[in-house]
Amino acid sequence: MKKQIGVKLGVTFALLFSFLFSTPTLQYQVEAAKAKTEEKAKIKRVANKKVTVKVKKYIDGDTTRFKLKNGKNVTAKYLLIDTPDLKKESPYAKEAITRTKELLKNAKKIQIEYDKGKERDNKKRELVYVWADGKLVQETLAGEGLGMVRSTKSKNTKYQEKIKKAEQQAKDRKQNIWSIENYAQADKGYNQAAVTAHLKALEEEVAAQAAEEERLQKEQAAKEAEEKRAAEQAEAARKAEEKRIAEEAAAAKKAEEQRIAQEAAAQAQAEEAARAQQAAEPAQGQTVYVTPTGSKYHTHKCGNGTYSPATLEEAQARGLTACAKCY
């Protein structure tokens, strides 16, 4: 009897345990399925209809997470445009996401629009056109050389020609991604090998410019040195000429001074000789002194003897000559 009661109690507990723990699991599954259904129902993908959204997160130049009016967040991949990969630090990737941020942050109204073709890509991202205050963001990115047109096999081609036209303008200007040869390749993506080649070409160009600048600097230095040498040589020649002229002038002045001095000396000598001659030859009518027997006339009593005055004419008439001592 006790054994039967134990068996019944064991079965009862087993059933109770199963009910207690299996019921929540089933309920969770039901609620999860319901939530999933509601989640799918939240996104109404209607072609050619613009839906107002807000930015939740910027992921890449062509990828943004948006928040719908119902609170649902969706990751959107911009249709028909491919910007450089930010994760790979590809050239112009930062510029692309910066421009996208600028366009959306400054916009008063942001909208997304589905096309008639594929609605999501293989990464479960919503494929949409993005509008900022009525301006198609894809067109702006393509027109500024920050993204290239990526064609599609689906029916998502509504604005393809519009974006291609903008892209061609950037191509013609060789703007941003189009400044690197073979970097942006239609339907193939971005060629990193082209970036390497471009960087190498830039390095070579920079090196060539540096070499050219160095050559020009050396050439300029040589030119300046030659001009300085020529200027110094001209200055030395000028000073030498000035010195020569000064020396010649000094020599001429000295010669002139010597000539004047010589002439003055000669004149003084002549005058002195004239004065001496004049002194040696007494003037007519001058009184002289003579002796009765002497042969000379004197200016004064010169020696012993009897001197008597006489005129010069009288002494000369007697044949007397001037005394060497007196004259």
Tens of pLDDT along 112-145?
999 999 999 999 999 999 999 999 999 999 999 9
**pLDDT band at residue 1 using 50, 70 and 90 as cut-offs:** very low
Mean pLDDT of 17-35: 43
Between 4-13, 271-280, 305-314, the lowest mean confidence (pLDDT) is in 4-13
Residue among 207, 99, 83, 206 nearest 148 (CA) = 83
Quote the pLDDT of residue 200.
86
Across the chain, mean pLDDT equals 85
Q: How many CB atoms lie within 10 A of CB 205?
A: 10
Radius of gyration of the chain (CA): 65
% of the chain beyond a pLDDT of 70: 84
Q: What is the pTM of this model?
A: 0.55
User: What residue spans of 174-291 are helical by DSSP H?
Assistant: 192-280
* Domain spans of the chain, in order of start: 50-190, 284-322
Mean pLDDT of 33-62: 77
**pLDDT band at residue 280 using 50, 70 and 90 as cut-offs:** low
Q: How many CB atoms lie within 10 A of CB 253?
A: 10
Query: What does the alpha-carbon distance between residue 148 and residue 163 come to, in Å, rounded to a whole number?
Result: 9
Between 21-35, 240-254, 297-311, the lowest mean confidence (pLDDT) is in 21-35
Q: Give every CB contact of residue 311 below 8 A, 6+ residues apart in sequence.
A: 285, 286, 287, 288
Name which residue leads in pLDDT, 44 or 204. Answer: 204
Quote the pLDDT of residue 250.
94
**pLDDT band at residue 167 using 50, 70 and 90 as cut-offs:** very high
Q: State the DSSP code for 322.
A: E
Judged against a pLDDT cut of 90, whether residue 159 lies above it is answered with yes
Question: What's the token pair of residue 187?
Answer: 């339907």
* Residue 149 near residue 86 (C-beta atoms within 8 A): no
Between 5-14, 46-55, 291-300, 308-317, the lowest mean confidence (pLDDT) is in 5-14
User: What residue spans of 59-191 are helical by DSSP H?
Assistant: 93-105, 137-143, 160-173
Judged against a pLDDT cut of 50, whether residue 15 lies above it is answered with no
Question: What's the token pair of residue 5?
Answer: 């009661």
Query: What does the alpha-carbon distance between residue 299 and residue 304 come to, in Å, rounded to a whole number?
Result: 14
Quote the pLDDT of residue 308.
87
Name which residue leads in pLDDT, 44 or 279. Answer: 44
Torsion angle, alpha carbons of 38, 40, 46, 50, to 10: 80
Mean pLDDT of 281-290: 75
Quote the pLDDT of residue 82.
96
Mean pLDDT of 107-115: 97
Mean pLDDT of 13-38: 42
Four-way CATH pick for 50-190: 2.60.120.200, 2.40.50.90, 1.20.120.550, 3.40.50.720: 2.40.50.90
Quote the pLDDT of residue 196.
87
**pLDDT band at residue 279 using 50, 70 and 90 as cut-offs:** low
